[in-house]
Structure 1
Amino acid sequence: MSVRLVVRTFSELCITAGALIILFVVYFLFWTGVKAADAAEGGIDTLQSQWAREPVAQAPPPGSAETSPAEEPAPYRDGEPFATMHIPRFGSDWEWPVLESTAVGTLQRGLGHYSGTARPGGTGNFAVAGHRRTYGDPFKDFPKLRPGDAVVVNDGTTWFTYRIAKKPYRTVPTDTAVVDPVPRGSGFEGAGRYLTLTTCEPEWGSSHRLIAWAHLDATRPVSDGRPPELSG
């Protein structure tokens, strides 16, 4: 085999490999975002249609007696949306559906609720995960969260406004205590109505997790219109 043929074959292989790498990058940086945006929009549309057709069982407001077991709302369905989340710090148009479970397929369509944690506004810890990068990059700006920032959740009957308690905290994926009813390391003491947000760290890796904690600050019936945090 001549040197020229070897060089030409090697060059063709490099071009092919380069093209495959480019396609791979385009898929993860662009196409997964397109798919996630379509899925998120569809999830929000589905919720709005459901809320327009049938009432949603309302969680008890802060300070009231909890519902009895017979009055408990139906459990969320795995992989299905049940609320929307808005974080003004991430942009005035930032809105994502919250779906039940943190399975891989669920997080490709929106934010995922840690099954077994509290419902929005409920006593305990309402814990939610989201991708930092790929699949729409919902938590791309996670490190920008600051104490006092609003996180607003809509379950169809009520706007729940949580306030971030401290800057994001870095931990390892095995630190499951961050989603406990009173999350360890949060600074919260005793039972309350808390929110935990989690995402990957570093930005393009998953060796660690970034955690942000918040506490319920206010509630507002949906019939009263959007809360002031979203009116800007």
Structure 2
Amino acid sequence: MRRLIRDISSVLIISGLLLVIDAGVTLIWQEPVTAVVAMIKQGQINKRYLSFRTTPLTPVERHALVSLKTLEQRVSFLARREARQVGPGDAIGRIMISKIAASYDVVQGTDDASLQKGPGHYPSTALPGLGQTVAIAGHRTTYLAPFRHIDALKRGDRIVLQMPYGRFTYAVQWHLIVAPTALWITHNVGYERLVLSACNPLYSAAQRIVVFARLSAVVPEGAARPA
């Protein structure tokens, strides 16, 4: 009986220590268990994204693309093509923010399952290259915490979205703290902009921190390049 009590006590002590360690790591870095889960899922979606990037155009698509003369037309055509092809949880591109050392594959969707894989694109908003608002959400303390430090972004900082058809660079304009119900942040404003959103403050979903950035450069890639 005494041995059983000692064994139970040891298990409880070890469990308590593990919880304390987990809490400590979460405070100074991010929640470690979900980080491992997200890391595995990022690897999986990256493979699917690379496969999608090499998907050839159909003969009809090639013919239509040849008839388009400007960069804007080709990029817009390919952006609409990708929007038709991607489904919930699929990788659509990669976001890179050098200021905060962030580089993650972006998935389609902002539901819980999608955000466990990485930053998620709001399906109700456009993809890059359509001259509209592109909105992406991400966690700050769990699942790799991709947007943990977006509060450090300042005016002029660069955010890059790498898509199969182009590399889009956005310059940060400002950031705001808004209510979770502030749907206006995803509205179109007459020019292409990128909107990043995440829960605020850390470890709370009471508010949203939102970063606004305006498109500053486009480099065509893949089929968008001039023939």
Which of the five TM-score ranges fits, normalised by the shorter chain? 0.7 to 0.9
Is 1:117 paired with 2:125? yes
After superposition, residues 12-91 of structure 1 pair within 5 angstroms as: 15=13, 18-19=16-17, 21-22=19-20, 25=23, 29-55=31-57, 61-62=71-72, 64=73, 72-73=80-81, 74-91=84-101
TM-score where L is the length of structure 1 = 0.75
Matched residue of 1:160: which SS? strand
8 Å contact from structure 1 (residues 118, 124) kept in 2: yes
Which residue of 2 is the match for residue 217 of structure 1? 216
The separation in 2 between residues aligned to 1:209 and 1:76, in whole angstroms, is: 27
Which residue of 2 is the match for residue 140 of structure 1? 148
Matched residue of 2:54: which SS? helix
Shift of 1:155: 1.3
Match 1:155 to one of 156, 159, 163: 163
Instruction: Extract unaligned runs of 5+ from structure 1.
Output: 1-7, 183-190, 224-232
> What letter matches 2:217 in structure 1?
A
> What letter matches 2:99 in structure 1?
R
Instruction: Extract unaligned runs of 5+ from structure 2.
Output: 1-5, 223-227
TM-score where L is the length of structure 2 = 0.76
Which residue of 2 is the match for residue 169 of structure 1? 176
> What letter matches 2:54 in structure 1?
A
Cα distance change of structure 1 residues 55 and 98 upon mapping to structure 2, 3 Å threshold: farther
After superposition, residues 170-185 of structure 1 pair within 5 angstroms as: 170-182=177-189
8 Å contact from structure 2 (residues 42, 105) kept in 1: yes
Shift of 1:210: 0.2
Matched residue of 2:94: which SS? strand
> What letter matches 2:111 in structure 1?
A
> What letter matches 1:214 in structure 2?
A
The separation in 1 between residues aligned to 2:50 and 2:76, in whole angstroms, is: 25
Identity of paired residues, percent? 26
Matched residue of 1:165: which SS? strand
The separation in 2 between residues aligned to 1:55 and 1:44, in whole angstroms, is: 21
Cα distance change of structure 1 residues 75 and 142 upon mapping to structure 2, 3 Å threshold: same
8 Å contact from structure 1 (residues 171, 208) kept in 2: yes
Shift of 1:164: 0.7
What is the count of residue pairs matched by the alignment? 203
Cα distance change of structure 1 residues 83 and 46 upon mapping to structure 2, 3 Å threshold: same
Q: Deviations over 1:142-161 (max 9, x none)?
A: 11101111111111120011
Cα distance change of structure 1 residues 30 and 13 upon mapping to structure 2, 3 Å threshold: closer
Shift of 1:12: 8.1
The separation in 1 between residues aligned to 2:46 and 2:11, in whole angstroms, is: 45
Which residue of 2 is the match for residue 186 of structure 1? none
Cα distance change of structure 1 residues 54 and 21 upon mapping to structure 2, 3 Å threshold: same
What root-mean-square deviation, in Å, do the aligned CA atoms of Structure 1 and Structure 2 show?
3.4
> What letter matches 1:146 in structure 2?
K
